[in-house]
Structure 1
Amino acid sequence: MRISVPKELKNHEDRVALTPAGVHDLAGAGHQVTVESGAGVESGFTDATYEAAGAKIVENQGALWEEAELVVKVKEPTPAEYQFLRPDLTVFAYLHLAADPELARVLMESRTTAISYETVETDSGELPLLAPMSEVAGRLGVQVGAYHLMKPVGGPGVLMGGVPGTPPAKVVVIGGGVAGTGAAMTAAGMGADVTVLDISVPRLRAIAQESNGRIRTAFSSHFEIAELVSQADLVIGSVLVPGDSAPKLVTDAMIAGMKPGSVLVDIAIDQGGCFEHSHPTTHDDPVFKVHDTLFYCVGNMPGAVPRTSTIALTNVSLPYIRQIANNGPVDAARRNPEIQRGFNVFDGKVTHRGVAKALGVKLYGFQEATGTAYLEGNV
C-alpha cells in the first residue's frame, strides 16, 4: 500500500504520525512510505533518518496526498488539506468530529474513509490509541496549571506543594480515566492536595489504592463538583464520552464562585470541553479569562512535547496501521472489530454512534459481509 505521512499544519503541532522505526517496519513489509520533508524535524527525526529507514522524502504536499492510498496523520485534516480528500483515500488520525461538524461534512461529501484514533476501541472498552496521549495531556495539564498559578502570569501566587508551614494548592480532577489519573498522580507527586471525581466507584477505589490514599476521591455529582470547585486553586477537566461531545460539568455559576486567580485546564477540549465557556486555544495564545479565573484550553497539548508524544503514538498505532496497510481498510475492519469501531465516516456516511449523536445525523452501521454502509437508524 502507498502510505503518506504529511507534515502537520495545526498551530504548534510538532508531532509526526510515524517514527523512523515505524517507517522501517512498514517499508520492510513491502509498503511504500512517503514522508513530507521536515515532517519529523520538531520531533527530533531528520529527513535523512527517514530515508535510511526506507521512506521516500517529498517536498510537494499535494503530490504526497495525491499518490497516497492511506494518509497517516496526528491531527485532523485542516481546511488547507480538504482539497486533497477523495473517495479512494483513507485517513487515519485523531479526528474529534463531534467538535468539528465542518470537517465531518467535508469527509462525507468527499467520501473519504475516515478512521479515528480516539474511537478505536477494544472489546473491554479501552481506547488504546487515545491512552498514551491522554497520559501525556494529564501530566502536562498539571504542569501548565502549576505555571499559571504563579502571580506573574495572572495566578493567585500559589505553589503546588507549598512549603512547611503553608498549605499546598487544592487540585480538583474531574474524570478518573487515563488522563485524569495521570493528572492526579502528577499533582499528588508535586505535593498538592488532590481530589478526583468520577461516576465509577470501582475507578475511584482503584485510584485510592494506586495512590496509597494520598489522593482523595468523591463520587461525581453537580453538588460535589460545585462544592469542590469553589475551594480549588486548579481544576483539571478530563471527562470523555468516546466519539461524543463532552458534557459541560462546570457551569458559569460554579466558575463565578471560584477563588480569584484559580486556573481551569480543559483536557476534554478536543471533544468540545467540559467547562461552560471553554473554547479551543493554541500554544501561541493558550489562556483566557472567565470571571476571575483563567482557562487553558489548548486542543493539542501533547504537541508541546513532540518527541515523547510521537514515540508513544507510534508504539500503539503501528499494529493498526500495519493491519490496514496489509489488508486494506475494509478487510482490516472485517478482521478486527477494534478497527471497525474506529471508522467514523465511510462511503459518505457516519458510522460511529457517538459521532452521529453529537452531529445530529443518521447513523449507519458497517456491514462486514459486503463492506458497504447500511442505515442503522437515527440516534
Structure 2
Amino acid sequence: MRTALVIGTGLIGTSAALALASRGVTVHLADHDQAQARTAAALGAGTDEPPEGVVDLCVVAVPPAHVAAQLADAMRAGTARAYLDVASVKGGPRRELEALGLDLTSYIGTHPMSGRERSGPLAATADLFEGRPWVLTPTRDTDTEVLNIALELVALCRAVPVVMDADAHDRAVALVSHMPHLVSTMVAARLENAEESAVRLCGQGIRDVTRIAGSDPQMWIDILSANPGPVADLLSAVAGDLEETVRSLRSLQSADDAKRHEGAEGVEAMLRRGNAGQARVPGKHGAAPAAYEIVAVLISDQPGELARIFADAGAAGVNVEDVRIEHATGQQAGFVQLMVQPAAAPKLAASLRERGWAMRQ
C-alpha cells in the first residue's frame, strides 16, 4: 500500500491516517468539515489535498448512517482499488450498498475495536489500535486483493485481525459495547441530581462503572441508531434481571424469615451469575483471565512518583501485570494498585517497604 484516502477525520479516521502516514503511506484526507481535515493534516495525518489519481485504499470513517452514501460516491467515482469502512456496525451498511446495486467485490466492512471517551482529530493517536482487535467481515464476493489490502491496513496499525460474519459482529458489539455503554449512562444519570454529600463519597467502583458515560452523546446516537434491535433485546433481558433483583431486595425488607431467606438467595444468585460472566472477560493478551494479587501503595500526587514506584518494582524483579489508581477524596494522594502474580506479591511488598513506600494492609 502506497496511497490511501481517509474520508472522515474524527478520532478513528485521523488515528488510522496517523498510523499509515508514520509508516510511509501517502495519505489524503477528506471531511465535510474542511477545518477538521486541516487540523488532522496539521497533526501529521496526511494532506487535505485530493489525490490526483486512483489510490490503493479508501477508508470511510464517518458515522454509520452516512457510510453507505460516502462509499457509494467514492466507488462510483473510481477513487480506489479497495474500499472499506470502520463503522461500529456492519450488517446495515452492507445491505444499503447492496440495495444501491453496487459491485461489492472491491469492498470489505471492518471495525477496529478501539476508541476513547473523547472524539475528533485532536483526540487521535497513531497507536490507538495497537494490540486491539480489528474485525473484518468479508463475504464470498470479496476480492482476495481487497482482503489483503485490509489486512495490510490492520498490520500497519499494529492491530489484531479478527474475521466475523457481519450480523454476528453486530450482535457481539451490542453485547460488549453498546448495551454496557447505555447501562453505564443510566448509572451515571443517577448522580445528576444526587446530593453533593453523596457524590463526594464516589470511590473507584463508581468511577469504573461510569467512565464510558462521558462519551459524546451525538456519536452514540449515530451508533445506536444503526444497531437498535440487538441492543434493545439485551436491555430487555437486563430489565428482567433488574426486576428480579428488585423483588429479591424487597423480600429482604420483609419481617418474614422465609421471605428474607428467599430474597437473600435471589440476590446471591444474581451476584454469582455476575461472577461467572466477569470470569469470561479475556485477560492479558487475550488469554484466559488470571487471578492477580493486589499490592496497594500510598502515593503522593506529584510528578515522577509513578515512574519511581515502577522503577522500584522493576528493581525488585517483579513484573507488574496491571495497574489501577485509587484517588483519595480531598487529598493530594491516592493508592496505586499494582497487580502481580500471587507468588510475587510478598516479595514486592517487602521490597517496596524497604524502599520507604507506605503500604495498605
Whether TM exceeds 0.5 here: the answer is no
Structure number with greater Rg is 2
- Normalised by the length of structure 1, the TM-score is 0.31
Hey, which of these two has a bigger chunk of helix by percent? 2
- Normalised by the length of structure 2, the TM-score is 0.32
